[in-house]
Structures are given as C-alpha cells and as structure tokens.
Amino acid sequence: MIDDIETLVRCESPSSDHEAVARSAEAVAGIGRRLLGVEPERIVTDGCTHLRWRFGDGPPRVLLLGHHDTVWPLGSLRTHPFSVEDGVLRGPGCFDMKAGVVMALHAAAALPRRDGLSILVTGDEEIGSPRSRALIEEEAKTCEAVFVLEASADGGALKTRRKGVSLYRIEVEGRAAHAGLEPEKGVNAGIEVAHQILAVAALADPDRGTTVVPTALSAGTTTNTVPAAASVAVDVRVWDAAEQERVDRAVRSLRPVHENARIRIAGGINRPPLDVAASKDLFALARKFAAGPLTEAAVGGASDGNFTAGLGIPTLDGLGAVGGGAHADDEHVVVAELPRRTALLAALTETVLAHRSSSVPTNARDESGAAQR
C-alpha cells in the first residue's frame, strides 16, 4: 500500500491541470488493474478524467467514492518530497486523498465477491466537482450504501455530518474616471463592492452554525482611476437545507447601493448538507467491525458524499487515511492505520453486498427520473 500511495503522490494532479489529472488517472488505473484484474472505464467530462470500475451485471449496490485530484500545484514535490519516517508518510495529496484511493482499491481486491460494487474516482473534487456531480449522482442512485474515502477527522473519527456549501461571485459594474481631476464623474465599484461585502457578511448566523465569508476580492486597475469593476467571492457553509435556501434567496436579492452601479450574482448552492441521518445506520455498522473504539465527527468541510446523501442514499464519510494537515505543509498519514482502516472498509462493503435488499433507497431515481419505491 505504501508503494502504491507513493506512485500516486509522485504523479502530481492539481485539479486545474487536465493533462496532469489524466496522467494521474493512468497511475490509478495501473494500480487498479494490478489489484482487480480489470481495466477501469475512463470517463472524460469537459477535459477532466475520471475512472470507474463496475462489477456484476446488475446496477451498483455499493459505491466506493474518492478523487485523485489535489490542491497542490505542479512542482510541490520539490519542496514537499514523498517520505516515510517513524511510521508517518508525507507528501502532497497523501492525506487528501491519494491514500484513500489506494485503500479503496486494496479493500475491493480483498473481497471474495464484487458483484454489485462500483468504484468511482473523480478528478475535480477539490474545485467543487463541477464536471463529475452528475456522474456521482447517477452512479449512486441505485446504491444501498456509499462509502467515501475522504480522510478521517481528528483521531480517526468518521465524518457523519458535513455542512452544505454554496459558492457565489458578486460582480460590480461601475464607471471609470480620473481619481484626481473628476472623481465625481465616476461610479466607484470598489465602494459598491464594500457595501455588498457588509451585506453578505451580515447573513451569517453563528447560533445556527451558518458562516458567510467574503474571500477573494478584486477592484480597480490603477491607483489614480476610479474603479470601473470589482468582484468578491463568497463562501457559505450551513448545517441544514433551510438555512442554505435562506442565504441563497438573500444573496440573489442583493441590490446596488449606488443608483448607477450594477451588480451580477454568479454561482449558487454547490453541495447540500450531509445530515447525520444519512450516516447513522452505517456508522453503527462500522462500530461493530472496528478494531478499536470508533468515533464520529461533524465537520464544516464538504465532500462528494454531500451529493449522495442529498439524494437520500445512506452515506458514510471519512473512511480514508488517518493523519492530518490536509492542504497544508504538514500533510501526513499514519502508516499503522492503513491496514486497519482498509480492513474496516472491506468488512463494511462485504456486509452490505451480502445483504440483498428488496428495494433501492426511497429517494433513488429510475431512468425516467421518477422516484422508485
């Protein structure tokens, strides 16, 4: 497993570089081919490469879900080389989540039967899964369980609740003018975007755990020109769908403060919340198979598991590597936990596959889009 993780870590795969992601997909495919004895299906959407293995003739009943893209730019290995020392594995993307991809493939290889199993490894999760969401939801709709190989929470806790995410971009159109000679003839987009920043920040509700955070900001072109354009990105995190809808309505109802300014709202709801109800039964099952005490956590970050839980599919997240430092200089994986967590995933998968359910989840959709009961 360490050798396989090294192979993936050394094949850098920033989400925005489709050629790098394609090379990474081939590295994943090679490991899967060796372990599972079959080639994956290569699915390319808008230039981004995803991989899928399906076993058996019927629709998928269990989905192992992961991604092979990372936030690390090409060249990160020069400053953050792969290493294993004192039981700790390091390297860009090892924790989030190349170790999880390797664990999924090794767990599948250990199964006595794989009929009904699907493994989906996407290439754009770190940028919100814009090219793979439909693929994920289609693959999950007939499943009785989705096991997400995102890294664990602190101490190895499984992630049984995740906030939903909305992402917006507020664009302001003003009018340029000379800042010294005739500023009154301009419409200052920088001032207007400041008003909009204060308005969206006021939508946060700490008591309900709702965060609304203005992030990337830009305005103007030169120091002596009234800004004609400005923009700000907004990151929203919520625990429940009602809050997500409330904030969405409020953002879309924003109006300019300056009568001659114009604003445009781009983006919207990206991922629904992953409610604890979606993971409760699977977490109880996981506790039966765990080699030791197993804890759960609610986290502010989202994953592709939010999509499947939003469809009403039982979903358990955080089954990947134990370690820490996702997206950070100290990203690392605890080596001793790799075989234990992989054995847990294999046991969960085998158990659900062995249970022949008489119906698919009530929120699943058939090919016509009608709810199946």
Neighbours of 340 (CB within 10 A): 15
Q: Which entry of 12, 96, 125, 296 is annotated as an active-site residue?
A: 125
The packing angle between helices 276-289 and 337-354, to 10°, is 110
Of residues 363 and 87, which shows the higher confidence score?
A: 87
- DSSP 8-state symbol, 98: I
Least Cα distance to 147 among 53, 283, 5, 337 occurs for 283
pLDDT digit string (tens) for 22-74?
999 999 999 999 999 999 999 999 999 999 999 999 999 999 999 999 999 99
What does the pLDDT average to over 144-161? 97
Q: Across all residues in the chain, what is the average pLDDT?
A: 94
Active site residue 69: yes
Question: Cα-flanking dihedrals φ and ψ of residue 104, to 5°?
Answer: -60, -45
Measured distance CA(323)–CA(284) in Å, rounded: 23
Per-residue pLDDT reduced to its tens digit, 240-274: 999 999 999 999 999 999 999 999 999 999 999 99
Task: Note the pTM of the prediction, 2 decimals.
Answer: 0.89
**Active-site pick, 4, 12, 69, 139:** 69
Per-residue pLDDT tens over the stretch 195-226: 999 999 999 999 999 999 999 999 999 999 99
pLDDT at position 356: 67
d(C-alpha 11, C-alpha 340), whole Å: 26
Residue type, 355: H
The closest of 45, 61, 267 to 134, measured between CA atoms, is 45
Q: Set out the domains of the chain in order of their start, with CATH numbers.
A: 2-162+273-354 (3.40.630.10), 164-271 (3.30.70.360)
Distance CA 189, CA 228 (A): 6
